[in-house]
């Protein structure tokens, strides 16, 4: 029985992905900053571990407790939807620490064991905002676009070692805590000139139309992990697939 370690399992995409792998016969190591009982169905094949991807000590402790893993899913992330002019550099650094450097640190930490076995899969969950520029998302988009470039370069580096890397790109979703996580970072002072833009963007985010739901992402991650012929980029969700098709 194979084992997957998934980061950011307290809600949304990570939580649903953990459920999906459990239901399909995998051992699952579900990680989150603060483990919460009852989020996932009780199973002898489930372990819930504390993990802060910005902490080297936390990463090493979680991987030691997890034991050998066949697949790593880097899903942990924080949102940021705000004008750059009103965004403190401290906030920007915190977004990159989790979204970008956390992904890199987790990947680097699992590589020695995967390389020794000559097998492994690393899936990085980013976003379709990296495919189409949008206002108020410059910091968040940059943090995720960096992961795209990191993943695609790493695929060439690790492929000869038997290790696959893949990107999953969700679209706009009502089922994650992106807005909740972003809101505390949206309270900084900002010039009033940005107010109309913010109102229109927030309305668009909450609007109708195709969306990405957590099961869409879970299925895309499952494909990335289990299908050796999976493409290097997998859009997840109706809006994500529609956008990817329009861009060719």
* Residue written as token pair 């370069």: 153
d(CA 142, CA 37): 34
d(CA 120, CA 101): 20
Q: Which of 69, 78, 65, 53 is nearest to 21 (CA)?
A: 69
**Cβ neighbours of 50 (radius 10 Å):** 13
d(CA 93, CA 70): 31
d(CA 132, CA 241): 13
SS3 76: coil
Cα 77 versus chain centre, distance: 6
Cα 215 versus chain centre, distance: 14
Q: Which of 13, 26, 82, 140 is catalytic?
A: 140
Active site includes 82? no
Strand order in the sheet with 163-170: 46-50, 27-32, 3-6, 71-74, 120-125, 163-170, 233-236
> Hey, which residues does 76 pair with through a beta bridge?
none
**Residues designated as active site:** 140
């Amino acid at each position: 029985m194979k084992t997957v370690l998934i980061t950011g399992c307290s809600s949304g995409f990570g939580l649903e992905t953990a459920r999906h792998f459990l239901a399909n016969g995998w051992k699952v190591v579900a990680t989150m900053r603060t483990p919460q009982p009852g989020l996932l169905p009780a199973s002898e094949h489930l372990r819930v571990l504390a993990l802060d991807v910005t902490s080297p000590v936390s990463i090493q402790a979680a991987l030691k407790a997890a034991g050998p893993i066949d697949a790593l899913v880097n899903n942990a992330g924080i949102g940021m939807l705000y004008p750059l002019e009103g965004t403190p550099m401290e906030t920007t650094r915190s977004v990159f620490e989790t979204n970008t450097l956390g992904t890199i640190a987790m990947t680097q930490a699992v590589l020695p064991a995967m390389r020794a076995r000559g097998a492994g899969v690393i899936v990085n969950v980013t976003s379709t905002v990296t495919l189409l520029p949008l206002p108020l998302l410059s910091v968040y988009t940059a943090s995720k676009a960096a992961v795209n470039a990191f993943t695609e370069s790493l695929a060439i580096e690790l492929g000869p070692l038997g290790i696959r890397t893949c990107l999953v790109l969700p679209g706009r979703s009502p089922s994650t805590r992106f807005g909740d996580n972003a809101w505390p970072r949206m309270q900084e002072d900002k010039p009033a000139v940005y107010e109309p833009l913010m109102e229109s963007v927030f309305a668009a985010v909450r609007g109708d139309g195709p969306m990405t739901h957590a099961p869409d992402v879970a299925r895309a991650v499952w494909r990335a992990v289990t299908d050796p012929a999976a493409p290097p980029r997998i859009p997840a969700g109706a809006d994500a697939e529609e956008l990817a098709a329009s861009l060719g």
